[in-house]
Structure 1
């Protein structure tokens, strides 16, 4: 194998390595962003579930939003 062929092969391998390193960095960034988004979504879901539990407890205990007619919206014809 000639020196030129070896050098060309080395250049090709270095080029491939550079592209792979770049692709790995992009994948790593995308994974980190997906994990952040999942954490935010999980937090929002937990907050929504807690609000739903509180609302159900208030409705079942006859609290302010329970059976009080004053808290109901007016009929549609008003």
Structure 2
């Protein structure tokens, strides 16, 4: 015969095991870290035509243009 407390104990054990599986894993790695400045480039062939790797002013100009015309929905809708 099953005691009345057995289902409660079983449910508590299942809940404990379920919550134990949801624990956060330790974050031991620091991820990708580089000491190079962003405008130094990556050495990839897939860069914008007018940008030269290592040229900070060219980098800033391209970022400003991209922000103004490429990612601004208002100006993109006005151009049509």
Whether TM exceeds 0.5 here: the answer is no
Higher RCO, 1 vs 2 (CA within 8 Å, ≥6 residues apart): 2
Measured against the shorter chain, the TM-score band is 0.3 to 0.5
Compare CA radii of gyration and give the structure with the larger one.
1
More helix by share: 1
